[in-house]
C-alpha cells in the first residue's frame, strides 16, 4: 500500500497536485491543512460545529489519492446516504471520474456488502440473497411473537430491547427485572428462528456478522486489509461499540504488530465528542478520549475555527459545554463578524410563546432569512408554534422523524422490489399480498406462515397457489415483473403502472391525501434515478443502500419554517433559529437527571445553539400543555451555565 507514514509535514509537494486540489489546499486553515496532510497512520479530526470537517475529509481523501492511493483502496463510512453521496460528488469535482472509485456508504450498507460477499460463512439458513429486516419489519415480527408466546410487554419496547441485547452480546439482559428477562429469554430464540426461516438478517446482524467474520477468520481480515488501505469515517462520536470494534478489526494489524507496520490500513476519523447525543441508539464517544491508546501512533488535531456562527452565539455555547467534565479540550473560535446577542424570552403559557415566536419568524421571513428553524427537545413542543405560523400564511414543515423509506406507500413498493430480487423474502411477501387487496385473509396468512416455517417460502407458496386464486394471480404477476426487470427506476415505473398504484392510493384515503402520497412515490422514483446515475442498475444493491441509512435523510426543505427535534437538527445550519422549551424538565429532560445523562442533555442544547448562523431566540414557558394536561416548568439551569439572559440570572420577561 501507499506509505503515507513516511511523508514529512514540510514535504507536501503541492506542485504535483492538480490545480483544483491545489486551490482546495490553499483554502484550508493551518489546522485543517495539518489534518489533511498528516503523515500519521491514524488521524482524529476533533471538529467543533461549523469547522469545515467535510471539506477537510474530502481534501484528505483527494490528497491521499494524489499521493498514490488508488480510489478503490479507500473506504468512506458515514451515517447517511446523503453524506456519502456528497463526499463522492466533491471528490468527483476535484478528481473527475476517478473520485467515484471510492466506496462510500453507511456502516450497515458496508456490513451487508461484506455479508453477501462471504455468504458461505453466514448464520444457518442464510444465502447471499438474504433479506434485510428493517426496524419496522422487526417490530411486526416481535408483535406476532408476543401473541404466539402469550407475552404481555409492549412490542416497541421489546423490539428496542432485542436490538440492544444483540448489540451487547445479550449482556444487556442481565440488568433487566426478572419478569422482563424471562420474556426476553423466550423471545430471543423465537425471533432468531423467524430470521432463519425468512433467510433474513436484521439491522444488528449487519454489524454482528462482519465483526464475527473478522474476529473468527484472520485470513479474511488479512485479505480485506490488503484490499483496502485507508478508511475515512465521519461523525465518529455516533459510533456504537460494534461499529468501533468493526473499525478496529479493519484497521489494526492482524498480528498485533505496532501500527507503523506498513501492511496495515490507515484511518482518518472526524468526530466531536461535544456533539455525542445518540446514546439512545447505543452510541458511545468515550473511545475518542482513548483514541491514541487504541491506535498507537495516532494524532489528534483540533479543528477549532467555526465558519458558521457569530461570536455572540459561540460564546454562550462554549460556556455551556465547558461544564462537561469528560471531553476532549477544544478551542471554539471564529473570525466571523459580530452579530446580535442571543435573546431569551419567558412566557406564562405556550399560547403566548407561539404567538410571539410566530410574529418574530414572520418578520425574519420578510427579511429574507427563510428557512427559519424551530428546535425543541420534543416534537410536541413544536406543534403550537407550527400552527401559529400556518395561521400567518407561512409554509411549515415539522419533521416527524419519519424518513421516506418508512412511509407505508413507499414500504409497499419496496416490498415488491425485495420479493422480485429474493423470492424467499417472506417478510416482504406478507406486505405485497395485501397491495392491492386480493382476498388473502388473516387465516390464510397464518396458515402460510406455518408452512414457511416447516418447508420454506417457495414450496409453501407453490402449493397454496393451487388452492387460492388471488395468491396464484400474485405469483404470475411477480414472474411477469421479474421478466421485465431493468434498473430500480424503470422497474418501479413498470410496477406502479402494472398495479395502477395511483388509483390504489386514491381508494385508501381522502383526495388531498392521495396527492401527498403520490408526492412520496415521485420522490422515490427520483431517488432511484439518482442512484442509477451514480451506481448502476443493481436493484439489490439499491435496496441495501436505500434502507440501510442510519440517519434521517429528509434534511432539505423549500418551506419557510422547519420544525425539528434537537436530535434531528444535528448537522444542519440556519440563518435564524428558535430553541423552544428551554425549561428544566424538558432540557435537561426529567428522565435524564443522572450525571452521564445530564452531560448528554447539555451536549444536546449545545448542538441546538450551534445550528444558528446569526439570529438565535430561546424561549421558556412557565406552563405548557403536554399530553393533554398542563405542566409547570422553570427555566433550564443550562441558561445560567451559558450566561444567557440577564447576566446569567433569571431571564427577564
Within 13 A of 233's CA, how many CA atoms are on the CB side? 26
| Averaged pLDDT, 242-254 | 95
| Local structure of 159: helix, strand or coil | helix
Residue entry with cell 387460492: 468
Domain residue ranges of the chain, discontinuous segments joined by +: 4-112+208-303, 131-198, 311-402+555-641, 404-547
Percent with pLDDT over 90 in the chain: 54
More confident of the two residues 486 and 453 = 486
Q: What would be the CATH architecture of the domain defined by 404-547?
A: Orthogonal Bundle (1.10)
Cross-strand bridge partners of residue 333: 305
- Residues 46 and 53: their CA atoms lie apart, in Å, by 9
Q: What is the pLDDT of residue 18?
A: 62
- Those residues with Cβ within 8 angstroms of residue 71's Cβ, 6 or more apart along the chain or in another chain: 65, 91, 95, 98, 99, 100, 101, 102
| Averaged pLDDT, 236-265 | 82
- Those residues with Cβ within 8 angstroms of residue 541's Cβ, 6 or more apart along the chain or in another chain: 535
Q: How confident is the model at residue 3 (pLDDT cuts 50, 70, 90)?
A: very low
Q: What is the pLDDT of residue 506?
A: 86
Closest of 301, 323, 321 to residue 313, by C-alpha: 321
Q: In this model, does residue 11 exceed pLDDT 70? A: no
Least confident stretch, 92-96, 144-148, 393-397:
92-96
Q: How confident is the model at residue 22 (pLDDT cuts 50, 70, 90)?
A: confident
Q: In this model, does residue 304 exceed pLDDT 90? A: yes
Q: How confident is the model at residue 87 (pLDDT cuts 50, 70, 90)?
A: confident
Q: Angle at the Cα of 121 (from 117 to 125), degrees rounded to 5?
A: 105
Question: What is the tens place of the pLDDT at every residue in 308-333?
Answer: 999 999 999 999 999 999 899 888 99
Mean confidence (pLDDT) of the chain = 87
Percent with pLDDT over 70 in the chain: 91
- Residues 80 and 58: their CA atoms lie apart, in Å, by 16
- Crossing angle, helix 241-251 and helix 107-117, to 10 degrees? 60
Name the DSSP letter for residue 397.
E
Closest of 401, 451, 376 to residue 620, by C-alpha: 376
Q: What is the pLDDT of residue 441?
A: 82
Q: What is the pLDDT of residue 257?
A: 55
| Local structure of 354: helix, strand or coil | helix
Question: What is the tens place of the pLDDT at every residue in 525-551?
Answer: 988 888 888 788 889 888 887 777 655
Q: What is the pLDDT of residue 6?
A: 31
DSSP H helical ranges for 392-547: 408-421, 426-432, 442-455, 457-465, 469-483, 488-499, 501-508, 511-535, 539-547
Q: In this model, does residue 13 exceed pLDDT 50? A: no
Q: Which fold has domain 311-402+555-641?
A: Rossmann fold (3.40.50)
- The reply to whether 311-402+555-641 and 404-547 are identical in fold is no
> 588 preceded by cis ω (within 30°)?
yes
Q: In this model, does residue 91 exceed pLDDT 90? A: no
Q: How confident is the model at residue 510 (pLDDT cuts 50, 70, 90)?
A: low
Q: What is the pLDDT of residue 171?
A: 83
- Kindly report the backbone phi and psi dihedral angles of residue 579, in degrees, each rounded to the nearest multiple of 5, phi listed first: -110, 110
Longest alpha-carbon distance in the chain? 79
| Averaged pLDDT, 294-298 | 94
Concatenated DSSP letters of 190-225: HHHHHHHHTTEEETTHHHHHHHHHHHH-HHHHHHHH
- Those residues with Cβ within 8 angstroms of residue 387's Cβ, 6 or more apart along the chain or in another chain: 354
| Averaged pLDDT, 66-91 | 89
Within 13 A of 489's CA, how many CA atoms are on the CB side? 15
Q: In this model, does residue 14 exceed pLDDT 80? A: no
- Residues 404 and 134: their CA atoms lie apart, in Å, by 13
R_g over Cα of the chain: 26
Q: What is the pLDDT of residue 10?
A: 32
Q: In this model, does residue 375 exceed pLDDT 50? A: yes
| Averaged pLDDT, 388-405 | 82
Q: In this model, does residue 43 exceed pLDDT 80? A: yes
Q: What is the pLDDT of residue 1?
A: 31
| Burial class, 369, CB count within 10 angstroms (exposed 0-12 / middle 13-18 / buried 19+) | middle
Q: What is the pLDDT of residue 558?
A: 76
Q: In this model, does residue 649 exceed pLDDT 60? A: no
Q: In this model, does residue 19 exceed pLDDT 70? A: no
Q: How confident is the model at residue 513 (pLDDT cuts 50, 70, 90)?
A: confident
- Those residues with Cβ within 8 angstroms of residue 438's Cβ, 6 or more apart along the chain or in another chain: 470, 471, 473, 474
Closest of 414, 416, 380 to residue 398, by C-alpha: 380
Q: What is the pLDDT of residue 595?
A: 57
Cross-strand bridge partners of residue 623: 632
Closest of 188, 193, 187, 265 to residue 232, by C-alpha: 265
Long-range contacts, stretch 9-15, CB < 8 angstroms, 24+ apart: 9/34, 9/37, 9/38, 9/39, 12/37
Q: How confident is the model at residue 652 (pLDDT cuts 50, 70, 90)?
A: very low
- Residues 24 and 14: their CA atoms lie apart, in Å, by 11
Within 13 A of 326's CA, how many CA atoms are on the CB side? 14
Q: In this model, does residue 399 exceed pLDDT 80? A: no
Q: What is the pLDDT of residue 210?
A: 97
| Averaged pLDDT, 340-348 | 96
Cβ atoms 349, 364 nearer than 8 A: no
Name the CATH code of domain 4-112+208-303 (choices 3.40.1390.10, 3.40.50.720, 3.40.228.10, 3.40.50.300).
3.40.50.300
- Residues 64 and 363: their CA atoms lie apart, in Å, by 48
Least confident stretch, 158-167, 345-354, 546-555, 556-565:
546-555
Cβ atoms 260, 41 nearer than 8 A: yes
Q: What is the pLDDT of residue 390?
A: 92
| Averaged pLDDT, 197-204 | 91
- Residues 625 and 632: their CA atoms lie apart, in Å, by 9
Concatenated DSSP letters of 541-604: HHHHHHH--SS-------SSEEEEETTTTTT--EEEEEEE--EEBBTTBTT--SHHHHHHHHHH
Q: In this model, does residue 16 exceed pLDDT 50? A: no
Residue entry with cell 391525501: 513
Cross-strand bridge partners of residue 299: 43
Q: How confident is the model at residue 228 (pLDDT cuts 50, 70, 90)?
A: very high
Q: How confident is the model at residue 508 (pLDDT cuts 50, 70, 90)?
A: confident
More confident of the two residues 67 and 577 = 577
Question: What is the tens place of the pLDDT at every residue in 436-482?
Answer: 888 888 888 888 888 887 888 888 888 888 888 888 889 999 999 99
Amino acid at each position: 500500500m501507499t506509505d503515507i507514514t513516511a511523508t514529512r509535514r514540510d514535504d507536501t509537494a503541492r506542485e504535483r497536485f492538480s490545480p483544483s486540489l491545489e486551490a482546495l489546499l490553499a483554502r484550508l486553515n493551518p489546522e485543517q491543512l495539518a489534518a489533511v496532510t498528516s503523515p500519521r497512520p491514524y488521524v482524529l479530526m476533533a471538529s467543533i460545529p461549523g469547522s469545515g470537517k467535510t471539506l477537510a475529509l474530502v481534501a484528505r481523501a483527494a490528497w491521499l489519492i494524489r499521493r498514490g492511493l488508488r480510489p478503490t483502496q479507500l473506504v468512506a463510512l458515514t451515517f447517511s446516504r446523503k453524506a456519502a453521496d456528497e463526499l463522492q460528488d466533491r471528490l468527483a469535482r476535484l478528481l473527475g471520474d476517478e473520485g467515484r472509485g471510492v466506496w462510500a456508504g453507511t456502516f450497515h450498507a458496508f456490513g451487508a456488502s461484506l455479508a453477501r460477499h462471504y455468504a458461505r460463512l453466514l448464520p444457518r439458513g442464510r444465502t447471499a440473497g438474504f433479506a434485510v429486516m428493517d426496524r419496522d419489519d422487526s417490530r411486526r415480527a416481535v408483535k406476532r411473537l408476543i401473541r404466539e408466546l402469550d407475552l404481555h410487554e409492549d412490542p416497541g419496547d421489546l423490539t428496542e430491547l432485542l436490538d440492544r441485547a444483540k448489540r451487547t452480546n445479550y449482556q444487556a439482559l442481565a440488568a433487566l427485572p426478572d419478569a422482563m428477562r424471562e420474556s426476553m429469554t423466550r423471545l430471543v430464540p423465537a425471533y432468531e428462528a423467524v430470521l432463519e426461516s425468512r433467510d433474513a438478517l436484521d439491522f444488528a446482524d449487519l454489524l454482528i456478522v462482519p465483526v464475527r467474520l473478522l474476529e473468527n477468520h484472520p485470513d479474511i481480515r488479512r485479505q480485506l486489509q490488503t484490499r483496502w488501505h485507508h478508511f475515512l469515517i465521519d461523525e465518529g462520536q455516533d459510533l456504537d461499540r460494534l461499529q468501533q470494534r468493526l473499525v478496529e478489526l479493519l484497521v489494526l494489524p492482524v498480528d498485533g504488530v505496532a501500527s507503523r507496520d506498513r501492511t496495515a490500513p490507515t484511518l482518518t476519523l472526524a468526530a466531536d465528542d461535544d456533539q455525542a447525543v445518540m446514546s439512545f441508539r447505543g452510541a458511545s464517544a468515550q473511545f475518542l478520549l482513548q483514541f491514541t491508546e487504541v491506535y498507537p501512533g495516532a494524532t489528534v488535531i483540533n479543528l477549532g475555527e467555526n465558519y458558521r456562527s457569530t461570536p455572540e452565539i459561540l460564546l454562550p455555547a462554549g460556556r455551556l459545554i465547558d461544564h462537561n467534565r469528560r471531553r476532549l479540550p477544544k478551542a471554539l473560535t471564529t473570525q466571523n463578524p459580530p452579530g446580535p446577542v442571543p435573546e431569551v424570552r419567558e412566557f406564562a403559557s405556550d399560547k403566548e410563546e407561539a404567538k410571539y415566536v410566530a410574529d418574530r419568524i414572520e418578520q425574519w421571513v420578510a427579511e429574507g432569512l427563510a428557512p427559519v428553524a424551530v428546535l425543541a427537545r420534543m416534537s410536541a413542543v413544536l406543534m403550537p408554534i407550527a400552527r401559529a405560523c400556518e395561521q400567518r400564511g407561512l409554509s411549515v414543515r415539522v419533521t416527524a422523524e419519519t424518513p421516506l423509506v418508512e412511509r407505508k406507500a413507499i414500504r409497499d413498493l419496496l416490498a415488491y422490489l425485495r420479493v422480485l430480487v429474493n423470492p424467499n423474502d417472506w417478510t416482504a411477501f406478507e406486505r405485497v399480498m395485501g397491495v392491492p387487496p386480493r382476498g388473502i385473509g388473516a387465516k390464510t396468512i397464518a396458515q402460510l406462515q406455518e408452512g414457511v416455517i416447516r418447508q420454506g417460502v417457495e414450496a409453501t407458496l407453490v402449493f397454496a397457489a393451487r388452492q387460492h386464486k388471488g395468491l396464484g394471480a400474485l405469483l404470475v404477476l411477480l414472474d411477469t415483473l421479474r421478466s421485465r426487470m431493468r434498473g430500480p427506476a424503470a422497474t418501479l415505473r413498470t410496477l406502479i403502472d402494472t398495479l395502477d398504484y395511483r388509483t390504489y392510493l386514491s381508494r385508501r384515503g381522502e383526495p388531498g391525501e392521495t396527492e401527498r402520497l403520490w408526492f412520496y412515490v415521485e420522490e422515490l422514483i427520483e431517488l432511484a434515478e439518482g442512484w442509477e446515475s451514480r451506481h448502476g442498475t443493481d436493484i439489490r444493491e439499491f435496496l441495501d443502500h436505500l434502507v440501510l441509512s442510519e440517519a434521517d435523510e429528509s434534511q432539505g426543505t423549500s418551506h419557510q419554517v422547519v420544525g425539528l427535534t434537537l436530535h434531528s437538527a444535528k448537522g444542519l445550519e440556519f440563518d435564524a433559529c428558535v430553541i423552544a422549551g428551554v425549561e428544566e424538565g424538558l432540557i435537561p429532560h426529567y428522565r435524564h437527571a443522572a450525571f452521564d445523562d445530564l452531560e448528554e442533555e447539555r451536549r444536546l442544547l449545545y448542538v441546538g445553539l450551534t445550528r444558528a448562523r446569526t439570529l438565535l431566540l430561546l424561549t421558556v414557558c412557565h406552563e405548557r400543555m403536554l399530553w393533554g394536561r398542563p405542566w409547570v416548568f422553570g427555566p433550564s439551569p443550562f441558561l445560567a451555565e451559558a450566561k444567557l439572559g440577564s447576566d446569567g440570572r433569571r431571564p427577564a420577561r
